[in-house]
Structure 1
Amino acid sequence: MTDKDRIYLIADITGYPPQISRLLSMMNYARHTTLQAVHGLKAEQLDALIDEDSNSIGALLLHMAAVETAYQAQTFEDRELTEDEMAEWGPALQLGEEGRRAIRGHDLDYYLQRLSDVRNRTLDLFRTVPDEWLEQEEDFWYNKPANYYFMWYHVFEDEINHRGQIRFIRKRIHSAE
């Protein structure tokens, strides 16, 4: 049975403890459906804006990688992104005008490679911690406590939200063609 055959299972994954396996199972499914949503898109479609305030599909894909990178730093390394990392990821984290200006002209393979590189690092990092690590708490939004389990849930929750936007944009740009 291949990994794709197990995409609908929230189950143990070899090399990871049980709770982390289940979290990664959910992250893997979210990514699987994101990849389906962008399959076959051309650079022009990835750059398309449906109005002057929207984000492009390419920007949303890079945003997913940027969010995951930021949570790697926060949860595994107990730090914010460095100045150099912000120079690389800032437009994708912020989106909006900065993202519209900076994130353009890439083909789908560029975005898929960025997503893959970041996810591979996430997978490597998760191999280094036990399930109990997920329970670690720190102040989060609005000075409320959150644990790492919630923070990593938010990583793929954010991806799912933006995948919905991607599907919406894809329908709009296809109907305009």
Structure 2
Amino acid sequence: MGRWEPDARERLVVAAVDLFTEQGYDATTVVQIAERAGVTKSTFFRHFPDKRELLVAGQETLSRLLAEGIAEAPAEASPLEAVAAGLVRASTAMGPMSREVAPRLKAAVAASAELQERDALKSVSLAAAMTTALVARGVPDPTAALASELGVLAFKRGYAEWSEGDRPPEDDFATYLLKALDELRAASASLG
């Protein structure tokens, strides 16, 4: 596949995840990722500052979509209802490629302390985006922070369930996110 082919960014992510899984994160070079994706090293660097950033490809988009969904929730929506609206909006960014690479990405992260750290920072960033959007709606900071953390947990749980096992391709990611949020809401109510 030539470097002029479309979807270079997506191909780079898939190539990196495959190489991280096959030979480990530390043993994988940018040159190998670029070659596997069928692009040049300079094309790699046009999309990513380094190989670590491949893990969070799309993080800015997810943060933006979460915040937009929260901001556009009905005025009378509770903080968790607004988070649910954000999750539904963010689900639109997760397509078949996200689902396809999820198990390999999970394995690559589990095998690398550096990737685990980057994944944790991604969660913090997503929570911060939701908290900021909720505070802008007038939600008090502690409530906004708690609702955001539940949103991040729901995203992780929903993503894990959506991406594991044999599921029909038409399965709606938003359904898994909302189910996870409902389960977390019920669990938090039982805390007393």
TM-score when scaled to structure 1? Answer: 0.27
Higher relative contact order (CA 8 A, sep 6+): 1
